[in-house]
Structure 1
């Protein structure tokens, strides 16, 4: 497996933090993401279109996050984020995929994408304009299973599995005294032909300890693991609810 290097990673942590939380802050949220999938998967040089050949559609998405902010200088704040995307579909593969000859047979396909992010970040600005910078370690696991629809054989399995360093950036603009804000956040890396980008933009309303968000999330994965490659985009609207203390 090739290891990704993040060229900008060191420079992010050279940015001196100019703001720390006055007290310990803790927050958590869960969200629903109505996502669509497009792109390709490759195995040993054979390529299928996940949308047009496999007809993959979203079955379920699980998204949850947890963060801890503190007033200790120098030490970064911590955020955990979990995403699970499961899609399945019935389509047709004409010819070979991954050395398996499907010969125009109807196929049943299942795609599971799971990722766990550990983000260490600093609050550069913390007032009505909020800006966070940091680094994310993403544990990415993906599995695409393609099998003949009626018998289950022949079948093919394409997998990617890696821990990937990524840059992290988050910005939010608060409208004072209203509880309303708009923001965007994302993780990104591009190196040696591989790239991963995960961005979302949102509007937020906060009342007491409760936060409600609605927005759009776009995730792009172009990653090669040995003979297997995923080059897909997942995007769509999301809504979330969270609490902060």
Structure 2
């Protein structure tokens, strides 16, 4: 994974930087993501379906971003992003799952990730294009509790390098724009794909955004595996200075 991160960083530097910001720019956003889970989790040879077996429903979702852009052509811009989703449910297991008793179960699945993205602006006019590298500190935790109070935990923790690409198209003199961004990596059987598309309205310092986001994750951590997809609409509000 370290060699992959170094190769991705070298590729990013080879492409940079064509354009730099004219002035300093600082911004932050807060958003709500109505994400639904699908997929499965496994521990050893035992597997559970998140929808059919656990009947998970959304409890809370938080999305925060902050970024800093500058006119220095050699140095990359910086973006921080935090995502946390939490879902719980009451389901039914037809067979044992790593020594749990078949029958009614309670479960809770939490996904948390913190991104540090270094990126360059390749275009900066009515068409905006950014390219960079994201380092993602990721953790996933699934806890299942049976009727006897015994619990089983499936965990995944990793620091992953991902390629970052963002594009936005501004409609001149309207404050309206459409765009999307993506983070992605696939290496040694593990993969992460995270993308969103959105429409945005900007009024003075205020940015209002609505769109759709999807994360697909397939990651092994020893005997623990999370093969899940989160998807759904989101809304956010931010300030840009």
CA deviation vs aligned residue, 1:129-181 (integer Å, no higher than 9, x gap): 00000000000011000001x44x22100000010000000000000110000
CA deviation vs aligned residue, 1:194-238 (integer Å, no higher than 9, x gap): 110000000000000000000000001100001100000000000
Partner of 1:155: 151
Partner Cα separation in structure 2 for residue 43 and residue 227 of structure 1? 5
| Equivalent pair of 1:4/1:191 in contact (CA under 8 Å) | no
Local SS of the residue matching 1:96: coil
| Equivalent pair of 2:56/2:90 in contact (CA under 8 Å) | yes
Q: Alpha-carbon deviation of 1:3?
A: 6.7
| Equivalent pair of 2:100/2:151 in contact (CA under 8 Å) | no
The answer for unaligned runs of 5 or more in structure 1 is none
Q: Is 1:41 equivalent to 2:37 in the alignment? A: no
Partner Cα separation in structure 2 for residue 227 and residue 4 of structure 1? 24
Partner of 2:66: 66
Partner of 1:167: 163
Partner Cα separation in structure 1 for residue 99 and residue 141 of structure 2? 17
TM-score, length-normalised on structure 2?
0.96
CA distance 1:220–1:4, change in 2 (3 Å): farther
Partner of 1:207: 203
The answer for unaligned runs of 5 or more in structure 2 is none
Partner Cα separation in structure 1 for residue 122 and residue 235 of structure 2? 27
The 4+ residue runs of structure 1 with deviation greater than 6 A are: none
Give the aligned CA root-mean-square deviation in angstroms: 1.4
CA deviation vs aligned residue, 1:31-74 (integer Å, no higher than 9, x gap): 01111110000001210001110001111101000000011121
Partner of 1:227: 223
1:109 to 99, 107, 110: 107
Local SS of the residue matching 1:41: strand
How many corresponding residue pairs?
A: 240
TM-score, length-normalised on structure 1?
0.95
Partner Cα separation in structure 2 for residue 29 and residue 195 of structure 1? 27
Q: Is 1:19 equivalent to 2:15 in the alignment? A: no
